[in-house]
Amino acid sequence: MGFLDFLTGRARLEKPTLDALFAMSAAAVTLEVNLGLTPAGKAAIAFKPFSSRRFRESGQDLQAMLASSGAEFGSQVETSTDEYGYEWLVVSDPDAEDQVTQLGVVSQILTENGFGEQLLCAVFAFDGDGQHVRLIYNFKRGRFYPFVQTGKERRDTARELELQSKLEQELPLEPELERWFPLYGAPV
């Protein structure tokens, strides 16, 4: 925060970190081979929408590009809005690498069009042993964390910590546990 930002009470938004997102491709193999967790066939990216014309045009360009690349990868892409007004782009594809590529395209396009600060998170879903595990990527921090939901608004913290210890060599993980925000309403 600069001096003028301090005086005016405004803070600059951090630019998103995109590179670490692609570590999920290698981690998906480890999750499947070592932990018995298979891709659930869906991943999503959440962002805070703007109502500006430029953002809507960028969104239309994004939709067209995703439809085109989705056809190439065999992915389906749909959009939704959650109860808080955040936009979600959900990619349905059985291949985790295709999911990572599609979400990478979304984040890159939004960043190149000046909307990178609007990116909130990417969520990758995995299933195994009767559990639904999500790995959440926080764009502002450039780090992942596990989230295991066990009920409407309950989570399995012990399992999350176990996953952290098993994935620390594969993914850049968020070290501050208080930043492991649950996403109970994520569409994946």
Does the structure show a pLDDT above 70 at 7?
no
Q: Which two tokens stand for residue 129?
A: 């042993």
Whether the pLDDT of residue 30 is over 60: the answer is yes
Phi, psi values for residue 184, rounded to 5°: -65, -30
pLDDT at residue 110, rounded to an integer: 80
Q: How far is CA 171 from CA 11, 73, 124, 135, 150, in A?
A: 29, 24, 13, 10, 23
Predicted confidence band of residue 4 (pLDDT cuts 50, 70, 90): very low
Ordered DSSP codes for 125-144: EEEETTEEEEEEEETTTTEE
pLDDT at 10 over 80: no
pLDDT for residue 3: 45
Output the CA torsion sign for 164, 165, 168, 171. negative
pLDDT > 90 in the chain, percent: 49
Per-residue confidence (pLDDT) for residue 155, from 0 to 100: 96
pLDDT digits (tens, 9 = 90+) for 96-113: 999 998 898 888 888 887
SS3 state at 123: strand
Q: What are 40-83's pLDDT values in tens digits? A: 999 999 988 766 566 666 666 666 666 665 666 678 888 888 88
pLDDT in tens, 82-96: 888 888 989 999 999
pLDDT digits over 117-136, tens only?
889 999 999 999 889 999 99
CATH class of 12-179: alpha beta
What is the side-by-side strand order in the sheet with 131-138? 76-81, 87-92, 38-47, 119-128, 131-138, 143-151, 154-155
Domain ranges of the chain: 12-179
